């Protein structure tokens, strides 16, 4: 029951988020950040920064060419970010792995991380995949929070390349629907009235107490006959 409702809440929240950030006329505006490429040395290698379309049309910026030749001998990975093929999936992270000779490296697992802050800076695991025949690997990412995200890509297992990584940043506009929802109990809104009824009953009881006590204290002393002890006169 609550799970169904929780699901419904998430769906509603998602729809709301979609209306705000994803759907409608202003869907694309500001949705996609600049495409950023970084080489392994950390130098910024911006390529064809596409300004966010302000026309309001669903015109995705020209897709950047991924898999750009490495800029340095040790820069084996390049990382690019672009809108995912499906909007709900957020951003596509695409990396290409090439060897020193410039040829693509096939079948190597590349992991993506988001540099986050939770009780200290941490690299949050996004996902991993193996490079295809072109040495590229792509994975969709829909951040939980808006704002700047620094993405890191790195081969997972290949020791020789372990030190090799590429980073890029995105200005996330679209975010995932929140996973946090209150879990209220079904009767809670109703139960507000219950104590009022109880209080009414309680006050009535105490009012009766007061009636009895004060009535006794008032009526009995005043119920005395003027004549001396008529009640006492009764003997059996």
Partner 1 sequence: MDVGRISRRQFLGGLGGGAGALAAANFAPIRFEAEAATPPSKQHQWAMVVDMRRCDGCEKCTEACQVAHHLPKSFQWIKVHKRTTKSGQEFFMPQPCMQCENAPCIRVCPVGATFKDPEGVNLVDQDRCIGCRMCMAACPYGVRYFNDTDPPAFDNPFGRPTPQYPVPQQKGTVGKCMFCVHFTAMGKLPACVEGCNMYALYIGDFISDIATNGRETVRLSEFLKDNDAFRYKEELHTGPRVYYIAGHGQDLGF
Partner 2 sequence: MDERTHRLYLERASANIGRTGPLWWIIATLLALVVAAGIYAYAYQVRNGHGVTGVNHTIFWGLYIANFVFFIGISYGGAITSAILRLTGAKWRAPITRIAEATAVVTLAVGAISVLIDVGRPDRMLNLFRYAQVGSPITWDWIAITTYLVGTLIFFALPLIPDLGRFRDTLPARGLRRKLYAALALRWEGTPEQERWLLRATLIMAVLIIPLAISVHSVLAWLFAMTVREGWHSTIFGPLFVMAAMLSGVAMVILVLAAARKAYHLEPFITRTHFRYLSYLLLALGAGYLYFMVAEYLTEGYTQTGETGAILRALFIGSYAPLFWAIVLGGLVLPLVLVALPGRYLVARASFASALLIAAMWLKRYLIILIPGITEPVSPLALYRPTWVELTITAAAVAAIPLGLMVLFALVPVMSIHEVEEVEGVVAAPAVTSARARAPGVAVAYGGGDE
Residues of this chain that interact with partner 1 (CB under 8 A) are 2, 113, 116-120, 122-126, 144-145, 176, 178-180, 182-185, 188-189, 191-192, 194-196, 198-200, 202-203
Q: Which residue lies nearer to partner 1 by CB, 195 or 215?
A: 195
Cα separation, 137 vs 118, in Å, equals 28
Residue in the structure block whose two tokens are 């009235």: 193
Q: Which residue lies nearer to partner 1 by CB, 195 or 230?
A: 195
- Kindly state the DSSP code that residue 27 receives in the 8-state scheme: S
Cα separation, 33 vs 25, in Å, equals 18
Q: Which residue lies nearer to partner 1 by CB, 21 or 37?
A: 21
Q: Which residue lies nearer to partner 2 by CB, 86 or 234?
A: 234
Nearest approach in angstroms of CB 49 to partner 1 is 28
Residue whose C-alpha is closest to residue 144's, from 36, 13, 4, 34: 13
- Kindly state the DSSP code that residue 104 receives in the 8-state scheme: B
Binding residues for partner 2, rule CB under 8 A, total: 25
Which partner, partner 1, partner 2, none, binds residue 214 by CB below 5 to 8 Å per kind? Answer: none
Nearest approach in angstroms of CB 41 to partner 2 is 54
Q: Can residue 186 be called a binding residue for partner 2 (CB under 8 A)?
A: no
Residue whose C-alpha is closest to residue 169's, from 62, 96, 91, 110: 91
For residue 226 the two structure tokens come to 């003027």
Nearest approach in angstroms of CB 110 to partner 1 is 17
Question: Regarding beta strands 91-97 and 109-117, do their DSSP bridges make them parallel or antiparallel, or are they unpaired?
Answer: unpaired
Q: Can residue 231 be called a binding residue for partner 2 (CB under 8 A)?
A: yes
Which partner, partner 1, partner 2, none, binds residue 7 by CB below 5 to 8 Å per kind? Answer: none
Q: Can residue 19 be called a binding residue for partner 2 (CB under 8 A)?
A: no
Q: Which residues of 141-164 are buried (b: 16+ CB within 10 A; e: fewer)?
A: bbbeeeeebbbbbbbeeeeebeeb
Residue whose C-alpha is closest to residue 142's, from 18, 16, 57: 18
Which partner, partner 2, partner 1, none, binds residue 182 by CB below 5 to 8 Å per kind? Answer: partner 1
Q: Which residue lies nearer to partner 2 by CB, 103 or 232?
A: 232
Write phi, then psi, for 87 (nearest 5 degrees). -60, -40
Please identify which residue in 127, 156, 195, 200 interacts with partner 2, judged by CB under 8 A: 195
Residue whose C-alpha is closest to residue 175's, from 5, 8, 60, 30: 30
Contacts with partner 2, residue ranges (CB under 8 A): 195, 202, 205-206, 208-209, 211-213, 215-217, 219-225, 229-232, 234, 236
């Amino acid at each position: 029951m609550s799970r169904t409702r929780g699901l419904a809440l998430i769906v509603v929240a998602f729809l709301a988020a979609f209306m705000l950030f994803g759907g409608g006329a202003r869907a694309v505006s500001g949705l996609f950040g600049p495409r950023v490429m970084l080489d392994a040395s950390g130098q910024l290698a911006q390529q064809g920064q596409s300004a966010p379309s302000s026309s309001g049309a669903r015109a995705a910026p020209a897709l950047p060419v991924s898999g750009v030749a490495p800029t340095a001998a040790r820069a084996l990975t390049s990382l690019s970010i672009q809108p995912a093929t499906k909007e709900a999936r957020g951003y596509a992270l695409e990396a290409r792995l090439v060897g020193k000779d410039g040829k693509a490296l096939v079948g190597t697992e590349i992991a993506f991380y988001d540099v986050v802050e939770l009780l200290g800076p941490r690299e949050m695991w996004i996902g991993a995949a193996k490079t295809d025949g072109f040495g590229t690997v792509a994975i969709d990412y829909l951040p939980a929070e808006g704002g700047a995200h620094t993405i890191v890509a790195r081969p997972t297992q290949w020791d020789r390349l372990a030190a090799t990584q590429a980073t890029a940043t995105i200005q996330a506009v679209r975010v995932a629907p929140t996973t946090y929802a209150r879990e209220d109990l079904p009767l809670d809104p109703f139960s507000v009235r219950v104590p009022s009824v109880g209080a009414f009953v309680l006050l009535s009881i105490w009012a009766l107490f007061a009636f009895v006590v004060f009535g006794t204290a008032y009526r009995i002393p005043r119920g005395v006959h003027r004549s001396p002890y008529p009640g006492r006169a009764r003997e059996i």
